Amino acid sequence: MLKFKSRKFLLLAAAVFGLLLILYSAGALRPVANFLSFAAKPLARRFYSWGTGFNNSYNDRREQADMAEQVAALTKEVARLTVDSARRRELEEENNKLRSQLNFFSNQSFRPVVANIIAKEAAPELNEQVQDILIDKGQSAGLRVGLGVVSEDGVIIGKITEVKDNTAKLCLTTSPGCKLAAALQNVDRTQGITDGDLGLTIKMGYIPQPEKITIGDIVITSGLGGNIPRGLVIGTVAAVRNEKNEVWQDATINPVSDFNNLTVVSVVLP
């Protein structure tokens, strides 16, 4: 019975299909096809619009995700290159300073102990000017109180005031109380004592009245006292105060080193 019904359905379907084919070939179904096509166009356009919008939205999100990944990767690469560049600059700067110190000491008779600056101490009462510096070498490296300290240019910037096993503190030549035996490179080879003046300049006192001092004269260490050798540059004369009714005259000395940029120094062992 089921086989008969199935066969009957197939024959009916074949007959209907054949009839539709004949009618389509004859053009009888063309109005119906045109009507269905016309009725389906808005829906087709709507589906097409939805599909296009979905595809564009997906592509936009994908492009944004790709751009975000690229930006993140580029940002990371820029950070890495910046760190590498900073390290190279620091190494180059340190090498240049060490090279300058080696060139200076190669023509001298005294021995240097190269040290890194690990701390700078400012004095509030002197407008936060740096007064003391801590270095990473101490008694174990042969350092002792009173030794001179020079910059990479060979300019004396101060002297050791405190020593521990592996560290030492030094005062700057501009620090009040940081006294050095000094001499002028003038005709009279005038001698005196320098002392820091408010953390900005240096005062040279105890200069005999008859001595002639000229603006621009170079001031060097005199070598008196034994701890600091003669000939280390302290600065240049910027002003002279000479009162006729006084025994001594004094001079204002401008240091020739920038203490704010110091990173590597050398302690002079005579």
Domain limits, the chain: 1-107, 113-270
Pairwise CA distance, residues 120 & 188, whole Å: 38
Q: Please state whether the predicted TM-score (pTM) of the whole model is above 0.75.
A: no
Torsion of CA 72, 75, 76, 82, to 10 degrees: 180
Pairwise CA distance, residues 4 & 193, whole Å: 132
Contact 267, 147 (CB under 8 A): yes
Q: How far is CA 3 from the centre of its chain?
A: 92
pLDDT 10s per residue in the chain (270 long)?
A: 544 456 665 666 555 555 555 555 555 555 655 555 555 556 556 655 666 655 666 666 777 777 777 777 776 666 666 656 656 665 666 666 556 555 555 555 678 899 999 998 776 555 555 678 999 999 999 999 999 999 887 889 999 999 999 999 999 999 989 999 998 888 778 899 999 987 788 999 998 888 888 898 889 888 887 789 888 889 899 999 988 788 899 999 988 888 888 888 999 987
Q: Which CATH number fits domain 113-270: 3.40.50.700, 3.40.50.880, 3.40.50.300, 2.40.10.350?
A: 2.40.10.350
Query: Which segments within 107-155 are labelled E, that is strand?
Result: 111-123, 129-135, 148-150
Between strands 218-221 and 264-269, the pairing is unpaired
Closest to 237 in 3D by CA, of 261, 220, 223, 225: 220
